């Protein structure tokens, strides 16, 4: 009888674990996703300090997709933050914010020994990063 009760408890615990694991995974795949930059001029190995794709409609489309695949889970859909991470619609527009942007996306951000944003250098190429910046310029709401 006692063994039967323990078996029931084990089964309940297993079911509860499965439900909780399903809820945790419902947040989505947090593995960075590749960004297809086909159609953009290659930028080479030297990192740019200003966005070479500003105003480029192909970069805007690629950047929108890249943002939604890699950034939206923290910075919000269409760059409208829900409070977990900065609302990037207020990032300085155009060249005024380019250097800050490229340094942050390449190197990430650590505060009080806690990673607030992971580095994307080595995961996304320079073309993908600048395409995302082009998208963010289109979402600017700082005025």
Question: Are the CB atoms for 35 and 66 separated by under 8 Å?
Answer: yes
The runs of H, that is alpha helices, within 1-143 are: 2-25, 57-70, 72-75, 95-107, 126-138
Residue with tokens 């080595």: 122
Q: What is the pLDDT along the chain (143 residues), one digit of tens a residue?
A: 566 777 666 666 555 555 444 433 333 456 889 999 999 999 999 999 999 999 999 999 999 999 999 999 999 999 999 888 999 999 999 999 999 999 999 999 999 999 999 999 999 999 999 999 999 999 999 87
Fold held by 32-138: Cytochrome Bc1 Complex; Chain D, domain 2 (1.10.760)
DSSP, res 114: E
pTM over 0.85: no
Handedness of CA 60, 61, 64, 67 (dihedral sign): negative
* Extents of the domains making up the chain: 1-30, 32-138
Residue 104 near residue 35, CB atoms below 8 Å: no
Exposed/middle/buried for residue 65 (C-beta within 10 Å: 0-12, 13-18, 19+): middle
CA atoms of 76 and 73, how far apart (whole Å): 6
């Amino acid at each position: 009888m006692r063994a039967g009760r323990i078996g029931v408890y084990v089964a309940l615990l297993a079911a509860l674990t499965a439900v909780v694991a399903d809820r945790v995974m419902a947040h989505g795949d947090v593995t960075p996703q590749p960004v297809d930059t086909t159609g953009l001029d290659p930028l080479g190995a030297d990192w740019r300090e200003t966005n070479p794709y500003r105003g480029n409609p192909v970069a805007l489309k690629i950047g929108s997709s890249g943002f939604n695949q890699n950034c939206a889970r923290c910075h919000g859909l269409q760059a409208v933050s829900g409070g977990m991470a900065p609302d990037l619609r207020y990032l300085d527009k155009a060249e005024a914010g380019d250097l800050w942007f490229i340094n942050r996306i390449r190197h990430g951000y650590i505060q009080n020994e806690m990673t607030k944003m992971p580095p994307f250098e080595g995961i996304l190429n320079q073309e993908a990063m600048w395409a995302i910046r082009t998208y963010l310029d289109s979402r600017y709401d700082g005025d």
